[in-house]
Structure 1
């Protein structure tokens, strides 16, 4: 790693910045992991779109359908394909703590920059906060790599800002992906924003959070490579304008993407986010492929509606 455990916070404050994207994993028609397709996507994201960091093997990447060895291979390929040109944050999330620890150590040994671990689903627990704190402390004690917390409704609860602030005191906690109502992440930012990065996956709120909360990190979902092409990088453009303090022009550029956001939103079936995202990637010339069972594939009618919406949204391919 490029930092020691005790230097993790300072290193992340300086280097963990800009737009980071959560990777969808391409699979072949027979369900096998498409390693070359994954490398091809990474080249496009890093070289053409200048995405500064990649979130690997998360929910977008269907980690729940992958074996432990596949997840390790996913990590290895991402580190190799990025080759220092973009940073990496590897999902070590799992309900089995031994698996979390094994993936965390593997990411550290492979040269990943950081890991992210979502709050566990809990059963028969009354002292929830103490249990979750102990969960992250146990992992911090085991590894040196910088760790991002991740709280989202899928865990069955949301971590309170007070709990997050307590966990943020652990030496190698460097960030949180906080998928919560805005008032919660605003409160946490005021509490610990000088210690760790607070971020959320909502691209629609990204510019406001740069301006109002001083955020430097978008961590992260698929919009960085779904709203942009090699010749149409408006998310990158409005982000750089905002970082430079030109918020009026940044808002104009951001708002010009509303037809693209609407095209994605109104054609995405509620139960098929990964399948829709992969098909949108294919329209953009990226490698998508099918989703793995038990996720649902897009129907031909859903694909036709998505392609029609894309052709009308104004996102340029050439």
Structure 2
């Protein structure tokens, strides 16, 4: 549900996970509790469902629709629901966007297809976004991929053209590099000042919030939602000492989850954190990602303790 205020999409969003049973099926009861617990944290604007952390690349179309339906049932009356769309084919992406609208999402976040890491030209990105949203014409967020994601990351001229498309309301800026973030922020504000720039590099939220941001769609907020919300508020209040203290708690956890190789284990690490905290019963991932090694689990236990987070 969109709040009745100017710039309704601005704010902090938890990029939620998709709890699974040990056999790989979606654990719908745990999913509902997970969504509700994050949606009702004071100061949380909304949820990003079916994002990368929600394993959108491994869920079927039907499963992603079900996740959206559950989110709408549990917290759609309270939260802004942004549904991630990840499809290689533009018409398949269109079907997923149509599903998201029918299920009750307020906006969609369109991820660049993984195949674009190998090749992408300027028109592909514009065509993909235009076709995907042709029927639903929903509020649309862009995803700026990381600097190490090959040609999935939009060149400045492509990002500028995308930001000016109809229905675009925000950018989940995941460059994972603070200088790139600032350059993209300045670019988007020059060509489309109404589009919200959402800082989403978990390892440098402090830096990006300080440079300027309208919020964040970030998966670390499912583990430490209060800390992320407080960090954003401290920066906006120009309370630098408070912001630094919060960053000192967030940073080691962000490094343990995202700044440790292999990067593909990040979602598994998030699930293990929630299991260690007693928030989900299983940290099951879709294969080929299996259980984390004991050393990884121990590292996450230390990072949670350093962040002052306990079961």
Choose from 164, 179, 199 the match for 1:169.
Answer: 164
1:134–1:203 Cα change, 3 Å: same
Over the residues paired in the alignment, what is the CA RMSD in angstroms?
2.8
What CA deviation, in whole Å up to 9, does each residue of 1:276-295 have, x standing for no partner?
21111111221143001122
1:94 and 1:311 map into 2 onto residues whose CA distance is: 34
Look up the SS of the partner of 2:63 in the other structure. Answer: helix
* Kept in 2: contact 1:90–1:116 (CA 8 A): yes
**1:130 aligns to what?**
123
Point out which structure has higher relative CO (alpha carbons under 8 A, 6+ apart): 1
**2:292 aligns to what?**
298
2:212 corresponds to 1:217: no
2:299 and 2:116 map into 1 onto residues whose CA distance is: 40
Look up the SS of the partner of 1:105 in the other structure. Answer: helix
Look up the SS of the partner of 2:62 in the other structure. Answer: helix
2:188 corresponds to 1:192: yes
Choose from 13, 23, 46 the match for 2:39.
Answer: 46
Give the stretch that moved more between structures: 29-38 or 155-164. Answer: 155-164
* Kept in 2: contact 1:21–1:51 (CA 8 A): yes
**1:6 aligns to what?**
none
* Kept in 2: contact 1:272–1:296 (CA 8 A): no
1:143–1:277 Cα change, 3 Å: same
1:58–1:262 Cα change, 3 Å: closer
* Kept in 2: contact 1:116–1:149 (CA 8 A): yes
* Kept in 2: contact 1:272–1:297 (CA 8 A): no
**1:317 aligns to what?**
310
**2:223 aligns to what?**
226
Shift of 1:101: 0.7
1:277–1:124 Cα change, 3 Å: closer
What CA deviation, in whole Å up to 9, does each residue of 1:74-93 have, x standing for no partner?
11111111132221110121
Q: Normalising by the residue count of structure 2, what TM-score does the alignment of the two structures yield?
A: 0.85
Shift of 1:146: 0.7
1:139–1:266 Cα change, 3 Å: closer
Count of aligned pairs: 303
What CA deviation, in whole Å up to 9, does each residue of 1:244-297 have, x standing for no partner?
332332223322444544554687754422222111111122114300112232
1:13–1:139 Cα change, 3 Å: farther
Shift of 1:310: 4.6
* Kept in 1: contact 2:76–2:104 (CA 8 A): no
Rg larger in structure? 1
Unaligned runs of 5+ in 1: 4-10
2:118 corresponds to 1:118: no
Give the stretch that moved more between structures: 106-115 or 25-34. Answer: 106-115
Unaligned runs of 5+ in 2: none
Look up the SS of the partner of 1:149 in the other structure. Answer: strand
Q: Normalising by the residue count of structure 1, what TM-score does the alignment of the two structures yield?
A: 0.84
**1:142 aligns to what?**
135
Q: What are the within-5 Å matches in structure 2 for residues 257-268 of structure 1? A: 257-261=250-254, 264=257
Shift of 1:177: 1.7
Look up the SS of the partner of 2:110 in the other structure. Answer: strand
2:56 corresponds to 1:56: no
